[in-house]
Amino acid sequence: MKKFFNKWTRKFHRWIAVPTVIIIPLAVISKFTGSGAEHLPPQIEQFQSILMLLLVISGSYLYLIPYITKWARNRNKKIRQLTIE
């Protein structure tokens, strides 16, 4: 189950990164060029914030996977050693 969840988290993270990479430069360019009439609508800015939040959550999980796995492996090793003794 963990491998399945990790695999889909990676795919989700990659697919969320694509629109984020497109929307953020567009928002920055539109804010710093032209008059105030060319600003993006608030819905786009809210969508951008939601994408960033999803990237942070999934990225944090992906970053912590090796540490979680190592912790679980060490815990299981200690349990096996206690049952052998």
State the pLDDT at residue 38: 61
How would you class 13 by CB atoms within 10 Å of its CB: exposed for 0-12, middle for 13-18, buried for 19 or more? middle
State the pLDDT at residue 13: 93
Average pLDDT value for residue range 19-43: 77
State the pLDDT at residue 80: 86
pTM: 0.72
List pLDDT tens digits, range 32-82. Answer: 886 655 666 778 778 888 999 999 999 999 999 999 999 999 999 988 888
State the pLDDT at residue 34: 66
CB atoms within 10 A of CB 65: 14
Domain count across the chain: 1
Its domain, for residue 80, covers 2-84
